Chains A and B, each alone.
Chain A
Amino acid sequence: MLQEILIQFWPALMYGVIGAVVFSIIGMISGTDETATMVPLTLMVIIIGAPPAAVFTFWMAGAVSKHMTHAIPTALLGIPGDTMATPMLEEADLLRKLGIPHIALKKMISSSIISAFIAVVAAVGFAIVLAPFGDIITKFAPWVFLVAAVLIAYFSRGKMASVLLLIPFVTIILALKAFTADYNIKLGVTYFLAIAIGPLIADLFYIISPMGKKAHHREAKNQVQIAPDLQMWKGYFPNPFKILNKKQIKFTAITSLISSATFVFSPVAMTVVLGEFVGSRIKNTYHKLTTVLSSKNGVTESTYIAEALIPLIAFGLPLSPVAAGPAAPLFNAPPVFNVETAEVAGNNLHHLLTPLDFLFYGLLSVVLAGIIAYPFAMNYARSAALFVVEKISHEAIIATFIGLILVISLWEGGLIGVLTVMGLGLIGGLLSKNFGFNTGCQFMGYYVAVLSVPAFF
């Protein structure tokens, strides 16, 4: 049995290392949303023919690494590294004002690695428990997606508005699908990218208009404060168990387990909720800040891991915000992978890897992130943060992402793809910023349009 698992070992190791390195770097750059970066790169790895275990290890090592290095700009600069880092800004800011952001960083990253190991094991366990229900759930998939979409919408900032907004949003997706079908084009990843980069597209259209430019006008350059240098640990590889105290290890473990079980909820929401839970248990300010921060960063890891692993192992259907968003290509990447629908049998990582494969390569991914991202973040945090903030202008990042959406949409659907990404991006971005109908809701709305609606009509 071990032999079967190990056949894919070398490619998986190679892709895992690449994933860990690439996403450690990306995590350092602020504003690099997980979906926008992980979907195209993972898709690419799939298309060039990497074996299933290698694809999985690439994605998982990348996700774990990214959620370690995203702590660097968050703790040292007060700028969120990516979407998952935003709930931690408040605590990070307070620790900076106390003059100890390096402690914040140390603790966040240590908690990450511990939480990640726990989450892999817990997620596989939960998935195996849920797996017997997998067949039933797959049969009722159209309903399940609809219910999941309504729940995820209700727990977003828009609340009931988000639930109701599902209706026009799903209609728009259906309209776009009919439009592209007219030209014999079928888009997939373009929709995800449009949703992920929507806020940028909406912002760009807005500031090109005179009233938008005036509204967003700034008098001065952005003031960025970086904490001073303070090396406070010895050796290249600090022990995470020595950096966190007993209570912090305990809370990391508890929050990791809870967030692994609640795999259908928004990862950002879980981070916030569990952070509140931990904070309510500690009454000393310093201890509260460090413990809440470390638990929260641990949750960013465990939610991503569980929300990808459980749907992958138990259902083969993207039944969680992470599976529907950043991990989408693991489920659906035509022509290589596809989700099971009424017409077509499913063929994706769920069918190609066994639960033991997932456990083994999941742990391998966390080990790789631990070897690559962890010491890098611990030892080079400040110089890396300075480099990014001094040398990489926001203009350059915008240029890269514009290029990204153009290349992907052209690759998938030519000019029709570009029109789709512009239109959906604009609408999605506006809904997200102004109505609280966030990207998680939009991803689920996409799946309702693609899976539920055809089944009902």
Chain B
Amino acid sequence: MDGSKDSLVEVWGDTVNYKSMLLAILIGGFISTGVYFLAKSYFSTVSGDPTLLSGYAMLIGLMGCIASGFICSLLFKPARNIVTESDGNKEDVKEFVIKLIEETPGYESVSELDFEVQKELELLNLKSVFLEAEEEVRARQRQL
């Protein structure tokens, strides 16, 4: 169920389709409590420690919650657009690094870092990007 774009709302930190959400609440409520009550009435016919049996009923009720969640995940597709970030154009990353350097007071160059950290940056193909960015920042500052 996709739903029209008019009925998208943000609730509890993420986006949902309004009607789907209402339905999901009903499903979650009914299935969980239904399963719980069934379990409870079954265990009331069984002999044993009442606390333990009541605990089992709660356990089965919780499994009912998960089942209702599972059913809802099948019925309602996420209101999300998943986008794979592209591998990051070298130039974009460099621009971003320049911005970061300019925003950091007292920035320390990568050439001043400990050897193992520099090696890390090299493995990530970022050391050259940082060095170039630093050079550009210095050039811009000389121009000012």
Contact = CB atoms under 8 A, between A and B. Distances in A.
A217 B36 contact: no
Contacts of A395: 16-17, 20-21, 23-24, 72, 76
A393 B10 contact: no
Contacts of A226: 82-85
**Most chain B Cβ neighbours within 10 Å, of A286, A288, A391, A404:** A286
Given A221-B81, A226-B83, A287-B113, A400 B66 contact: yes
Contacts of B25: 204, 398-399, 402
B55 A44 contact: yes
A288 to B, nearest CB: 8
A234 interface: no
A168 interface: no
A157 interface: no
A18 interface: no
Contacts of A245: 114, 116-117, 120
B117 A228 contact: no
B85 A391 contact: no
A139 interface: no
A444 B107 CA distance: 42
Nearest to B111: A284
Interface in A360-404: 386, 389-404
Contacts of A392: 73, 78
Contacts of A48: 52, 55-56, 59
A286 B16 contact: no
Contact of A207 (B9, B81, B112, B120): B9
Given A245-B117, A335-B51, A395-B20, A403 B130 contact: no
B68 to A, nearest CB: 5
Given A48-B59, A98-B96, A207-B9, A400 B65 contact: yes
A228 B65 contact: no
A217 B130 CA distance: 41
A294 B18 CA distance: 38
A224 B80 contact: yes
B11 A216 contact: yes
Interface residues of B, number: 77
A351 interface: no
A79 B87 CA distance: 20
Contacts of B87: 99, 228
Contacts of A393: 16, 20, 72-73, 76-79
B11 to A, nearest CB: 5
A33 B66 CA distance: 16
Contacts of A390: 78, 80, 82
Interface residues of A, number: 70
B109 A284 contact: yes
A226 B82 CA distance: 7
A450 interface: no
A9 B141 CA distance: 65
A158 interface: no
Interface string A229-271: 0001000000000000111000000000000000000000000
A246 B116 CA distance: 9
B101 to A, nearest CB: 7
B82 A389 contact: yes
B5 interface: yes
B126 A100 contact: yes
Contacts of A40: 62
B97 A98 contact: yes
Interface in B88-111: 88, 93, 96-97, 100-101, 104, 106-110
Given A44-B58, A216-B11, A410-B33, A227 B85 contact: yes
B76 A207 contact: no
A450 B17 CA distance: 40
Interface in B4-59: 5, 8-18, 20-21, 23-25, 27-29, 31-33, 36, 51-52, 54-59
A193 B87 CA distance: 42
B32 A391 contact: no
A143 B117 CA distance: 50
A275 B29 CA distance: 41
16 contacts: A44-B55, A47-B55, A103-B124, A200-B11, A200-B12, A207-B9, A218-B10, A220-B5, A221-B80, A226-B85, A228-B86, A285-B107, A390-B78, A396-B73, A398-B24, A402-B32
The 9 A-B residue pairs with the shortest CB-CB distance in the complex, in nearest-first order: A403-B32, A399-B28, A47-B55, A400-B69, A99-B88, A403-B65, A283-B108, A396-B73, A407-B61
Given A47-B52, A222-B14, A288-B104, 8 more contacts: A94-B100, A219-B8, A221-B8, A226-B85, A389-B78, A392-B73, A395-B24, A406-B33
